[in-house]
Each structure stands twice: as C-alpha cells, then as structure tokens.
C-alpha cells in the first residue's frame, strides 16, 4: 500500500500465499521506522496488534481476491492430482494383471516366479526406479 492509502480505520489484508490471508484494521498513523520503512499498527481479526511494513499490506478487497485466487489454484491442483492419480491407478491395475498372468503361467509350468528370478528382474528394476526397494523382494 502507499502512505496516502494508510488511514486509521482502513480495512487491510496481509500479502500472503496462504489462504485465507490475514485481514484487519489500521489502528495508527503511518510512522517511519529505520528497519522497516513506513509502518502502521494493524489490529488483525484475532485482536492481535502488530506493527506492519505498509509494503506488506493490500486492501481488504484485494485480500479477498487473493483468497479466491489461492482457493481456485488449490482446486485446480487437486483436480490435476486426481486425474494423474486415476491414470496411475489404471496403469498399476494393468501391471497387477500382467503379474498375476505371469504367476499363472509359471504355476501352469509347475514353477513359481521366485524360481524364475531372472525373468522378474525387469519388474524388480521398475520397482527400484519407483522407490519401492525392499530387501524382502530378493529373498
């Protein structure tokens, strides 16, 4: 905010990537601070008083717009994650079906996948690439 906009009683919000951003009321005139520049005292919604650099403030209306933007971005990211998770679930189901088919083939030949370790190496490598490496897989 600009010094001219910082009037006692003005509703403001803190610039923040969190949501919802803090909102409050300016309770003092602008003061010059050697470390912070221009500051005002803000009473936040939780009744906490804080000396704030005016460069960290926006209007309350801008704060509500910021809240909406953060909320919409969060929703967008959640939708993207759900789509990616669905695609991964489909692929993992395909992989599980392929493993079950390999187990069935090995059993039909009177063997097991444990006996055919060299045939299982690509699966073990893929699991290792996915970060799923446990010592029990090799036993």
* Structural domain that includes position 61: 3-65
Tell me how long the chain is. 139
Does residue 43 lie within any of the structural domains?
yes
- pTM greater than 0.85 (yes/no): no
How does pLDDT run across 93-139, given as a tens digit for each residue? 999 999 999 999 999 999 998 888 889 888 888 888 888 876 665 55
The label of the residue with tokens 């991964």 reads 88
Does residue 57 lie within any of the structural domains?
yes
**Which CATH number does the domain housing residue 46 bear?**
2.30.30.30
How does pLDDT run across 50-61, given as a tens digit for each residue? 999 999 999 999
Q: What is the pLDDT of residue 17?
A: 74
Number of folded domains in the chain? 1
Cβ count near 23 (within 10 Å): 18
């Amino acid at each position: 905010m600009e010094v001219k906009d910082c009037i006692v009683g003005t509703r403001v919000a803190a610039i923040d990537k969190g949501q919802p951003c803090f909102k409050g009321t300016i309770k003092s005139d602008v003061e010059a601070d050697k470390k912070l520049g221009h500051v005002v005292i803000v009473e936040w919604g939780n009744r906490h008083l804080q000396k704030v650099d005016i460069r960290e403030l926006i209007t309350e209306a801008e704060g509500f717009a910021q809240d909406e933007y953060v909320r919409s971005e969060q929703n967008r990211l959640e939708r993207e994650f759900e789509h990616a998770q669905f695609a991964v679930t489909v692929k993992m189901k395909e992989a599980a079906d392929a493993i079950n088919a390999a187990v069935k083939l090995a059993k039909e030949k009177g063997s097991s996948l444990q006996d055919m370790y060299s045939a299982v190496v690509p699966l073990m490598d893929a699991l290792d690439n996915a970060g799923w490496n446990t010592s029990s897989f090799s036993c």
